[in-house]
Chains A and B, each alone.
Chain A
């Protein structure tokens, strides 16, 4: 059945940040230079082509955009300045919006002003709610313990509720992702392959080692983005675990509880260094991948930076014995955290799960294909000579 092309898709993707994809004349230099492309997954040219021709279904079901870590070498090599790197980035944004069944993601990506307005609205509402709660049941002069303004037990429940809600959305969207990618017409993957390859999940999640493998003429500068990103990611993963599971221990004070707080300090360093490096990079356009910035990129980084700064600040204020300032800062901190958490399944942050899943699915697909080829070869050998 011939597929009807859709020349209007490029226009839509421009809202997601794609630029100049129409310049591509398919020389293939990008796929040739890409350190991660191979015979099974050919990119970025294949994705560029599907986008040019508007093959929505094919794009929706592709893994290739997730296999890219935006080292930017393809964009550097492109003789037509078709920005394949940025196209892959915009495809990732687009895919996030496609996996999301609510439609919120598409809304936020198409207009950063809408996203910002939502963030501000939720922050204000959260702040108002928290202040009301705090004044309602405690004293602003007490940070910790009985009569605390924002007792950790309550915040704990609050955090867990929001967290679980978001996890549910994320789970739903992940299942949609699986359905689109792995459940292609007729192809069924044996269940035991899912088990076999499951080690890929923690591996890619925690190390993002493939990012480091993006070669470049200048080795140090590529590792820097990887290290910065690793620091950032491990930073907030640690923070997330601490906040979700160890909040009472974290908030206790004013003495420093090294067994818990040490992790918090490391995490904060990671977060601050990471966000500052990336914001600086995007301002100065120091790397190929920082040249283009979509509204969603800024909101992500700035919000995270503000969360980190306010978190550190409220911790310091508490430890040096300024409970009122600490509580106010805490409210501000939480006012940032709430929209941050609520946005998670609908925005850039979701790549944390999607990319990990994509690496997993890619690993499974590779093995399945290898097995198919092996089976075909065996059948060929066993067939009696004609």
Chain B
């Protein structure tokens, strides 16, 4: 049985969540590996959310926001954009592969794009294999 990644998605209400809904109304099919959590803006994404997701066993984390310049709250996505490189550096220090955490811009009319991003990320992480944290957690559970 091939490995099925578990991906957590943080989507902003105004653009990316709406875009994902549009993929739904258009019946565009994509991989079922993603689980979405709705936030008002991508700027709300606290680094602890991503850390916790990975710690709790996610193989990947996707953060989606509005395209730069189109943020419903004017500048939120710029803040997200600035925070991300720092976060990635920190995660790298923990040995978490770069491709496991991803920031994408998806607008409210980009249902197809959302589906494409999810599919692409799922396959890349499938190739990477399960996150070491998850494997460690599973062996811990087994040992107990």
The answer on direct contact between A and B (beta carbons under 8 Å) is no
Q: Which residues of B contact A (CB under 8 A)?
A: none
